[in-house]
């Protein structure tokens, strides 16, 4: 168990409203990731972070921003939600080298977001 929690677990919102999803980890992992999962697409990387205040874009970053002010928290913000952002969002961390987890990503339980 990589100690990853996501909040909220479910959210319904309306088009044009801002939404923030939170990922929290308890084991001081340096790398954190945000993905979205859509049928037929697998997982697609939105943004990732390699340390406090160090973030970079993934393949589907348009319409999303992230922040990481503390090691344990990685926030994903939809500035103005659209129906195309209806999806399941997963946070992940990269495991420790010492425990054989290097290069392995471990996932949170997900947030199901519906934009009406």
Partner 1 sequence: AQSVAQPEDQVNVAEGNPLTVKCTYSVSGNPYLFWYVQYPNRGLQFLLKYITGDNLVKGSYGFEAEFNKSQTSFHLKKPSALVSDSALYFCAVRDDGNYQLIWGAGTKLIIKP
Nearer residue to partner 1 within complex by CB, 19 or 60: 60
Nearer residue to partner 1 within complex by CB, 11 or 44: 44
Label the pairing between strands 64-70 and 54-57: unpaired
CB of 17 to partner 1, least distance (A): 25
Nearer residue to partner 1 within complex by CB, 53 or 103: 103
Peptide linkage before 58 cis (omega within 30 of 0)? no
CB 75 within 8 A of CB 21: yes
CB 23 within 8 A of CB 72: no
CB of 12 to partner 1, least distance (A): 16
Q: What are the residues binding partner 1 (CB under 8 A)?
A: 40-45, 48, 58-59, 90, 92, 103-110
């Amino acid at each position: 168990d990589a100690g990853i929690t996501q909040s909220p677990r479910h959210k319904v919102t309306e088009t044009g409203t801002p939404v923030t999803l939170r990922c929290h980890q308890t084991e001081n992992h340096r790398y954190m990731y945000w993905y979205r999962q859509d049928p037929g697409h697998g997982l697609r990387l939105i943004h990732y972070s390699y340390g406090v205040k160090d973030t970079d874009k993934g393949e589907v970053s348009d319409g999303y921003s992230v922040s990481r002010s503390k090691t344990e928290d990685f926030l994903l913000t939809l500035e103005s939600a659209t129906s195309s952002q209806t999806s399941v969002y997963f946070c992940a961390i990269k495991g420790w080298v010492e425990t054989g987890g290097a290069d392995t990503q471990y996932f949170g339980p997900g947030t199901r977001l519906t934009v009406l």
